[in-house]
Structure 1
Amino acid sequence: MRLKCIKLAGFKSFVDPTTVNLPGNLCAVVGPNGCGKSNIIDAVRWVMGEISAKHLRGESMADVIFSGSGTRKPVAQATIELIFDNSAGTLGGEYAAYAEISVKRRVSRDGQSAYFLNGSRCRRRDVTDVFLGTGLGPRSYAIIEQGMISGLIESRPEDLRVYIEEAAGISKYKERRKDTETRIRHTRENLERLTDIRDEMGRQLDRLERQAAAAEKYRVLKAEERQLNAQHLALNWRDYDADARGREAVIAEQATALEALIAERHGAEAALERLRADHAGANEVLNDAQQQFYAIGAEVSAVEQKIQHGKEQIRRLRADLEQVERNLVESRQHLENDTLRNTAWSAELAEVTPAREAAQRQSAAAAAELQEDERLLHDVQQRWEVAQRESADAQRRMDQTQARIQHLDSATTRTADRLRRLRAELAEVNAALPSADLEVLGRQLAEQERANAVQQEERVQISSAIAATRAQQVEIATTLNAERKQLQELQGRRAGLVTLLDAARAKGEGAGAWLKARGLEKLPRLADGLDVEPGWELAVETVLGTDLQALCAGAIEPLRGEFASFARGHLSLVEAGAVQAAAPAGKLPRLVDKLRDARPLAEPLLVNIYAADDFESGWAQRAGLHAGESIISRDGIWFGANWLRLIRGDDLAGGVLIRKRELAAVEQQILAADARIAVAAEQHSAAETALRDLEVRRGATEQQLARTQREYADLRAKQSAEQARSKQLDERNQRVLRELGEAEALLAKEVAEVGDARRDLQGLLDQMQAANSAVDAIAAERNRRREAVAAVRSAAQHQRDALHQLDLRERSLTAQLGSVREGLERIRAQVDRLTERRDGLALELAGSEDPAALLQQQLQDKLAARLAAETTLATARAAVERLDAALRTEEARRVTAERQVQAQRERLEQLRLAGREVRIRADGIAEQLQSQGFTVAALLADLPDAAAAPNWQEQLDALDRRIQRLGPINLAAVDEFRQQSERKVYLDAQDAELRDALETLESAIRKIDRETRARFRETFDRINSSLQELFPKLFGGGQAGLELTGDDLLDTGVTIMAQPPGKRNATIHLLSGGEKALTAIALVFSIFQLNPAPFCMLDEVDAPLDDINAERYANLVREMSEKVQFIYITHNKISMEIAGQLLGVTMHEPGVSRLVAVDVDEAVRLAEAG
């Protein structure tokens, strides 16, 4: 796998979309300081998952977005995409089948960052997981930035170990181990919680099992009650349905009468449509006459316009002829002027041409003299550069020696400081003691364990109380729902009764307008004030009939003169008054005595009517009745001496008194139901409050238990920390003593090396002074040559300027002559065209004649035709007006028919209202049964033909008593017992699975540790061996190696020891900057030889190297590029020479980086081919 290209957009200084193609294995990025070269490496590190803005040379992640320049605005987001060539299948798993792998990251200024793999959005972890074990990552050894070389060598042993782990490919093992440890911790926590839950659930199951048995019996009885109740409702539905069908027959007769009236209305509408058709024909004739009249008017206007147009045409021709004459005079004047300019410019061109040729010869001679003087100056410049390089080389060696002295002085100071720190640390370690007594911590742990047990017991008790309260709440809710259902049924019954009573009252409202006009509309109805003994309602309603809706007036006499104006409707008035009644027939009481209230009003209507408890006893008194006397039985049979009246059915006025009594009873039942619902709701609310209080107590107990457990865990952690601290103090004491001896030996060696370096510096200073003297002498000669070249160059420039001026004048004259000659030809052609135009206009004007006489005759003819059309139009308009009058007459007849239809429709609607009330009751029962899962047809099919609603009501009452004897029932116990039993089985299985999983995870940890130790040991040995081979290649000798700081291969640190040729330094810190750089390069390349990453990015790692070491470094890079792709940033010419491709970064526009790529290998091939 190799890096194919890098795509940047809006990232740091690369504001424009830029593609960095990397076709070869040696790509060098070059350019001046500050042009943005290192931004390419920052881009790669960023897209690989870097989240620290500090490592990207910024303060926040928004700093990677282009923030604008002097000429450009900031952009909103930055995007980087890496394209990898995976044709070799280096990446396995799901990406092995892809020949190219795309990794992209995008960030916006609001801080939102997104990652993409092959175009699919993913997490940052998905990107890092893809490259685990490959050596790639945001901070891996494959990307070495400025300053990281020295940081790599001087890093702590723990940090250096990370690079070895990445090379060994065990970084993914560490991630897996970390995930496994987290899972183990979570598994143990879950196991503890699961054990508590299982114990509590066992106790709950014992109680629920007893409650479930009682609840099951209750459910069986309730199902039986539900079936009986449905059958009872079906019987009621059967009775209502039969009544409704009888009413539908009456409604059908009235509907037939309505259809006859509608047919009469349709006849009137048909006649109206015929008149409308005649009216439309007359309108068409009128429209045609109008159209003809308007058309003739338009022709008159057209003739008038033609007369005016002819006159305008003659005026236009005369104006055009005058304009052509003026243009012809102007064109002839332009022709004369251009001829004079052509003559003058031709003469001037003949003088300029020879002068230009002479100036050209003089300029060529001056250029030859300047070339010879510049060659002499170049020779002197080369000698000056050689002397300058020798002087710079001497200066560089002196600077290196001074830097070495400064480094040694700094190292001496650091070593002395280190000695002081180590002595202070040793004193601190000796004085340090554990901060807490382990025995005291043990006692505190025991107390926390006891408190934990008490709180868990309290939580169990509260949970039991919650379950009991919840069961009680369910029972109360069941009772409350039953009461609410009964209340809804009573309210439905009340609404039906109110509807029937309103319909009965509405029958007598035909006189509403007449009553309202006289202020009588608010008089009470007779039925509203009657109070009849129970059982006699039907008898009173039979006698009074429609008089139940009579208005109770104080006196009728004042209204006597108003009755003549009563045109339509039904009106009944009653007034209070005493009526002389005959003696009762036999022992029968009067019907008026059955009234408890409103007797003075109803008595005139019930005079001489007697009441019998049954028909037989009344019939026995029939022979003794006088004229005007009658008897009515309790069941509504009314008869006199020679007549009998029996009314059955449900007339609109019938049943008013019975329904009033039933409505009053329903109102009382509703009030009682409201009271019971209020009590049940209050009990339900109290249960909810108690349940909430228990939940709050349980929450507080669980919080206290969690705090106790946290405190227990803190004490355990503190105890472990104190034990570990005691052990660490011992180990630290031994380490400090060892480092103290090493630091004292190192300080003595550094002091000796400082003296040697100061003596070398004096000799280099003498060499530097001699080199500077040679540079000054050659510089004086170079200045003299420069002055001479400047004088000759000035003269040559003067000759070139003179030649340029003459050349420009010659070209200008040539262009002007060409332009004026073209103008002459164009003006001559224009004069010819204008002459022809003038002659044509003169002929056209001469041929025109005045058309006014002919057009005047046409105008008179059109005016006569318009007068005739106007007469025709007046006749058509009169016909339309006659038809309008006939339409209004027929419309009045249609309105009368419509009113008759409306009156019959109102009567029919009243009948339908009564039938609908009965049907609503039946449908209400059917819907109620359907909502309960029953159908009326199925229920009636299962019932015997002799079944009656009262018998089923008795069975319901008996079953209800059996249910009441069961006492309080927890209806949720059966389902809860089943659910809790299933959950108990599930939790038992979960407990076993968690214990198996815990054992599996612990085994995985042990396996990961074994594999990690083995791979780390093997990788460490191989890198160490490779380092021992590469170090002498880069230094021309010497030795280097890696050492482990501990015995445990899981966490031991790694240090590097390096000794260049001729040196016996005890630590890596004693090396110079260049030596440290070479040592770090040797280590990085040793890692690459073991586990080559797909590419290696180096940022000016050759900066501190001299030419000899830079050449060694370059040779090693070229050798390793056969297996590894290198992208490196450099200012060193030696490093540039080995590159196959040069990528130049420029900043021609301030603040904006651009890329200029050169394929060196291709350029060499082209040069050889040429």
Structure 2
Amino acid sequence: MRLTHLKLSGFKSFVDPTTLHIHGQRVGVVGPNGCGKSNVMESVRWVLGESSAKEMRADAMDAVIFNGSGNRKPISRASVELVFDNSLGGASGAWSQYAEISVKRVIERDKGSTYYINNTVVRRRDVADLFLGTGLGGRAYAIIGQNTINRIVEARPEEMRIFLEEAAGVSKYKERRKETEQRLRDTRENLLRVEDIVRELDSQILRLQSQAVVAAQYNQMQEALNITKAQIWLLKKRDASAQWEKTQRMVEKLVNELEAQMAGLRSSESTLETLKQQHTASSEAVNIAQSAYYEANAEVSNLENQVKNTTDARERLQLQLQQLLAQLEKNTHQHHLVEEARALAQADLIKADADFFDTDSAVKSASEAVPLKSHEYQAVLSAFNASQSAWLNAEQRLRLEQANMTHLSRAVLETREQLTRLQQSYDSLQIPADSLVLEKQSQLSALELEMTELEQKNASAVKQEQALHAEIKANRDEAHQYQRALHVLEAEISSLTKLQKSMRQVDNASALGVWLSSVGLSDKLDENLRLWQAVRIKTGWETAFEACLGAKLNAISCSYSNINASLLNRAPLALTLAVTSDADTQVKTPHLYTEMFSLIEYVEPNYVAVLQDWLTGVYIHHSNDMDIVQAARMLNHGECLVNQYGDTYTRHSVTYFGEQSLLHGVLERQSRLTNLEAELPEAQERLALKNNQVTLLETKLQQLRTMQHAQQQQLKLVTQQAHQLNLNLQQLKQQQTNAIQRQKMLQSDCEQAEEKLNNLQSECAQKQALLT
């Protein structure tokens, strides 16, 4: 799997949804201090299951949620999502079937974390199992954060072992082993509990058996009780039937009494109806009396008002009288002043006395005339109050009408201005044309059709990609099989070649090489052709051929001149030289058995004469032939029979073959080596062809992915255009609807304003007429 996207939302400093696209094998995150680089690494560790707040550089796990700033409010939710490309099926378990795998972790305040894989709620353990053995995880070594290098360097041996096991992929199996052991432990505990339960049940069986006997007795007694109860209920039923009959007779008697009472009730109702009519008549009389009473009360109220008015007038007269008394007191004070000044004007005293007597008589006459003047003053004052009240009322009505006229004039002006504004708004209102809406709809339909075609192409491309994936996987599997077969073939050829070369190596090889050079042969042992290299035997008879020839199979080809040279200088080691020449012309006599020479399928022409010489008188014995002992007795001197196991039979002896030298199996190995070398080019060609097919399929897959990416980009672009066009169309329709509604509202407002203006003008004309 390969990480392609990292999505963060509300995680630490990433308050807004942010998507990081991971392209290529190496991606660097650079920026100034405090920009959130470490938050990116911590988000990867957090989404993979990190449960330690300390590793997140926080006091609590809720602290990874954005806690607000000077310009932003805090939020209550944070999420991080990793998107992996699993197109090659590298994921373990059931998730390997998905081409893309998303791992997501969401945390909310006071609610804890929730894990998702492909939008499916999973456990934290499921996320850990998905990346087990890959080096990824909450505490894995693949994520190098702050202080991680120091922690690895300073780790203790047991901590270092955890890192090494994770790197070697052992932790996955240790985790599975731990889980299996836990399950076995739970199973053992369950078995112990089951055994305890079995023992408990065994101890309860006897008690339950005794309880079963008691229960059987209880059932019998219960049946007897039910029968007794049934009998009792039968007797009660009989008594109840008799009681019911008695009650029925009583009910009939009570019904008769009830009918008599109903007759009395009807007569009472008729009497009640008569009394109601009388009550109605009495109520009418009472109403008449009440109306007369209310009229009398009204007259009394009027009289009381008159009395009150009289009292008020009396109080006013008393006030006037007090004023006159005050004036009298003032005059008396002046009199005292005059008396005090009489020493100064003794001459005026008599005159003053006369004036005093005159004044006193005038006062008395004025006091007698006060009631009459009071009555006249009261009448004049009443007339003045009435006229003043009428004048005030008229003036108030006039001012009210003038205010109404001012208000009506202002309302007329406002209504005219409102009507003008409404008409201007109505005239300036712009309604989008239907043709523009239809044009937008046709463009949207075209884009939707294009989107459908692109989605179909994308779906087809996905299917082709899946088919190519399957075909590539199948071809890769076949290529791996061919590769393994080729490696096995090459390894077998190499081992057989080494074994065959070892047949040429002998002890004291340098001395033998000097000797071969002295007799005219090559001093390099590997360059001298051996007999086992020049012959091919029928399958199944290699052992018989080796038993017959023995060390002669390692013979080196030479000529007669080489043998003549070797007479003076004997070979330092055991060695066989075979003179290669044309085949001898011999007359073959018919024989009862098949010659050993007939088993040779191929031989170098120069070795035919040598093999004829060595195999003369050697015959083969098949398993379906006659008894080999009888067959051996029929042989001549110097002849022998050899079976497939290499056992040699003569007329007077038998020699059983055994593995006595390094030459054992040399012919079989040489035959196998020849066949394998013949198969090697075909296997190489088959592997090369399959690798070419895989390369072509991968190239085709890459082209398909490129085309699919282009189609996806085009689909994304078309989708964005369609979305934008749909928004524009909806806005246009909403605009059109709002404009039509606004037009109707303006038209209605204009009509209402015109009607209001007409009413105000008519009312204003009426008021003006009243004022004039």
TM-score (norm: length of structure 2): 0.34
Q: Which has the larger radius of gyration?
A: 2
Q: Which has the higher contact order (CA 8 A, sep 6+)?
A: 1
TM-score (norm: length of structure 1): 0.23
